[in-house]
Structure 1
Amino acid sequence: MHHRPRTALARLLQVSAIFALSSALVLPGAHAAEKKVAKKQQASSASKPARAAKVVKAPRAAKVSKAAARKQPAGRAVAASAAAPVRAVAYAPARQSFGQLAGLHAVPDPLDLKSSVALVVDQETHEVLLSKNDHAVLPIASLTKLMTGLIISQARLPMDEMLTITQDDVDTEKGSSSRLRVGATLTRGEMLHLALMSSENRAAHALGRTYPGGLQAFVTQMNVKAKLLGMTDTKYVEPTGLSSRNQSSARDLAVLVNVAHGDPLVRELSTSPSYEVAQGPRTLQYNNTNRLVKNPAWEIGLQKTGYISEAGQCLVMQAEVAGRKLIMVFLDSAGKFSRIADAERVRHWVENQAGGATAILASHKIKG
């Protein structure tokens, strides 16, 4: 009777021991699994806000409006951003000048000038101080207006006569703009002032158009004058210089500068620093296209600038340097400010020369 209870108790203790041992073996793995699942849930919940932030940023990067972003699902907004086309910008090379096409810039000179054509002459002794491609015949752009001004000045036409800009004076050659509107009225003297000082194309054209006999008679007179002066390389087809068919050489232009410098009106107007003209309620301020006229280091007696793509940057001047009266011609200069820099190079060179050394380089004559 007493033996059975001991056996039951022993069995109960044995089962309890087995259960405790199995719990000790199983529970650590279960805890580890629970921790692993918890970490996955945390990672999953943490990753959801990150995806939402990415979707919000995408429309801003693609410059999509907020309203459009709200209407579209986030995935579509990102896809639209990724598929946005990239616009290609076409490169348009600058148009080469006649001098560049002819290879004139390859000709060296002692001053490393940026102009492919240059000529510096002593106005009194006619000594050539510097020559580079001086016989090359090239477009001369608004240097044309120097002949235009000379013809008008010597014609002795009334300078106080009122002239009106018409549609005929609007540039159809290059499509250039002008502050002188169709219908603007100025005196002939004011038109001449703007043409020589500020290179005003409509003013120059109006001067030729209102010449006795009309525009064609004026152009004919320009060519007659060139022939009388011995400018055998020169041809004019219109009074502004917008046409690349207005052509000349540095040698011919030096002759023109010398003659034009002898005309007091042309000399005065071409070197005027600035000028104002009244147009109704407006007052138009014009400045000289050659900034050297305001430079105290220069004593300029006459000047004219010019530019069209076929001619490059051009400049002619009469100036006194180191006590010498010089005529300078620069054609087909490469760079917006290079013609001014070339003039400065020549001035410093002449000032540094003892008596003015002569440097004559080979020149080439280009017809076309």
Structure 2
Amino acid sequence: MKYLFNAAVIAAAILLGSGATAAPASQDKKAQGAGGRKPVVVSAKKAVPATQKVAVKTQPQARAPQKMATKAAPQAAKSAQKSAGKSALALAESAHKPIRRISASDFETGRLALGSASALVIDQSTGHPLFEKSPDAVLPIASISKLMTSMVVLDAKLDMQEVISIGEADVDTLKGTRSRLPVGTTMTRETAMLLALMSSENRAANALGRHYPGGLPAFVAAMNRKAQSLGMYHTRFEEPTGLSSNNVSTAHDLARMVTAAARYPEIRTFSTTAEAKVELNGRIRDFGNTNALVRNERWDIGVSKTGYISEAGRCLVMQARVADKPVVIVLLDSVGKMTRVGDAIRIKRWMESASLGSSSQRS
């Protein structure tokens, strides 16, 4: 009887020991905040150095690690392990696949419908057009003109830290557009270029031309000479802002201009800066980019410029990397505020679809 009692005690102890589970250790880690472009702080006396790359990439949002439950169904664990194994295998295999070069023949232009009256997508690596829609139509280009304005200033090798002022002559009497730069505002030439390219400030652009050796007449003459030197034979500039509808060009000519502008580090930096805090007359003011796509982490944009006057419609030019391909995108005379952005997104999806389709056919 004593032997049976001892055996029962030992069995109960074994059962109790095997049923015990350890309490999970709690980990309380805070997720990092969503990343974003850091605003540029620019003093009225000293602007951001032209060679400094400013906020080109938006950091993706970091996620807090998920807590794993201590008790998971065996079947679910096996399924997750199997899925993870497949994902790792797929990544390993893709890392060893040769890069598929996409050619113009891979794109079906008939499948891309754009709202812009004139459009052009150029493969920069080959110079061949991937998409064309009335690319030789001569149209007003509005503030796209400011890319040429910036190139002429930089070509003249003027002192970018020289302080220039906004005068009565810089006020828009043609269209009556407003500006956040009151008459009498002073800033460096570099800051004026930043505001002209990023926020499309017309007074800043006009001041750049007015403070050019020989004044506005000499500046406009230099703009037209530069256009001719780039082979922009259907382009004409009348003033540096683009407010005049006599500033005209074609999509083909503008593709040449964007390609040339991309060779200037200052233009690449300033035109793709998302936002800046600028000290003007002792006050800090916030300025933002007129192209919302520069804030989108899905886009890798090297040069950007928007434009609008009633005669030109909404315009957008960009140098960007899409589907692992360097391209120049020109969109002119878009009706509606979002059409040009929508067209750019449609071009991106169209190129990515063509890239995926070509890869699947090859595999």
Counterpart-to-counterpart distance in 1, 2:148 and 2:278: 23
Could you say which residue in structure 2 is the equivalent of 1:257?
A: 258
Q: In the TM superposition, what is the alpha-carbon distance from 1:127 to its structure 2 partner?
A: 1.7
User: Is 2:219 aligned against 1:206?
Assistant: no
Could you say which residue in structure 2 is the equivalent of 1:184?
A: 185
Counterpart-to-counterpart distance in 1, 2:136 and 2:110: 15
Distance 1:277 1:354, change over 3 A: closer
Counterpart-to-counterpart distance in 1, 2:245 and 2:285: 29
Q: In the TM superposition, what is the alpha-carbon distance from 1:355 to its structure 2 partner?
A: 8.3
Q: In the TM superposition, what is the alpha-carbon distance from 1:126 to its structure 2 partner?
A: 1.0
Which AA in structure 1 matches 2:171?
Answer: V
Contact 1:350 1:356 in 2 (8 A): no
User: Is 2:285 aligned against 1:284?
Assistant: yes
Could you say which residue in structure 2 is the equivalent of 1:47?
A: none
Contact 2:291 2:305 in 1 (8 A): yes
User: Is 2:175 aligned against 1:153?
Assistant: no
Find the residue that maps to 2:194 and give its secondary structure: helix
Could you say which residue in structure 2 is the equivalent of 1:299?
A: 300
CA RMSD of aligned residues (A): 1.4
Which AA in structure 1 matches 2:203?
Answer: R
Counterpart-to-counterpart distance in 2, 1:217 and 1:280: 29
Cα deviation per residue 1:228-275 (whole Å; 9 max; x = unaligned)?
A: 111001000000000000000000000000010011111111111111
After superposition, residues 117-196 of structure 1 pair within 5 angstroms as 117-196=118-197
Counterpart-to-counterpart distance in 2, 1:315 and 1:279: 28
Counterpart-to-counterpart distance in 2, 1:285 and 1:216: 32
Counterpart-to-counterpart distance in 1, 2:251 and 2:185: 35
Which AA in structure 1 matches 2:169?
Answer: D
Counterpart-to-counterpart distance in 1, 2:356 and 2:136: 26
Contact 1:165 1:182 in 2 (8 A): yes
User: Is 2:348 aligned against 1:347?
Assistant: yes
Counterpart-to-counterpart distance in 2, 1:270 and 1:288: 8
Counterpart-to-counterpart distance in 2, 1:169 and 1:204: 8
Which of the two has higher C-alpha Rg? 1
Distance 1:285 1:349, change over 3 A: same
Contact 1:273 1:293 in 2 (8 A): yes
Give the total of aligned pairs: 250
Could you say which residue in structure 2 is the equivalent of 1:328?
A: 329
Which AA in structure 2 matches 1:335?
Answer: G
Q: In the TM superposition, what is the alpha-carbon distance from 1:109 to its structure 2 partner?
A: 5.8
In structure 2, the gaps of 5 or more residues are: 1-108, 359-363
Could you say which residue in structure 1 is the equivalent of 2:311?
A: 310
TM-score (norm 1): 0.66
Distance 1:152 1:356, change over 3 A: farther
Counterpart-to-counterpart distance in 2, 1:272 and 1:176: 23
Distance 1:355 1:326, change over 3 A: farther
Find the residue that maps to 1:314 and give its secondary structure: strand
Find the residue that maps to 1:353 and give its secondary structure: helix
TM-score (norm 2): 0.67
Find the residue that maps to 2:270 and give its secondary structure: helix
Contact 1:319 1:327 in 2 (8 A): yes
After TM superposition, the runs of 4+ consecutive aligned structure 1 residues lying more than 4 A away are none
Identify, as 1 or 2, the structure richer in helix: 1
In structure 1, the gaps of 5 or more residues are: 1-107, 358-368
After superposition, residues 1-12 of structure 1 pair within 5 angstroms as none
Distance 1:113 1:217, change over 3 A: same
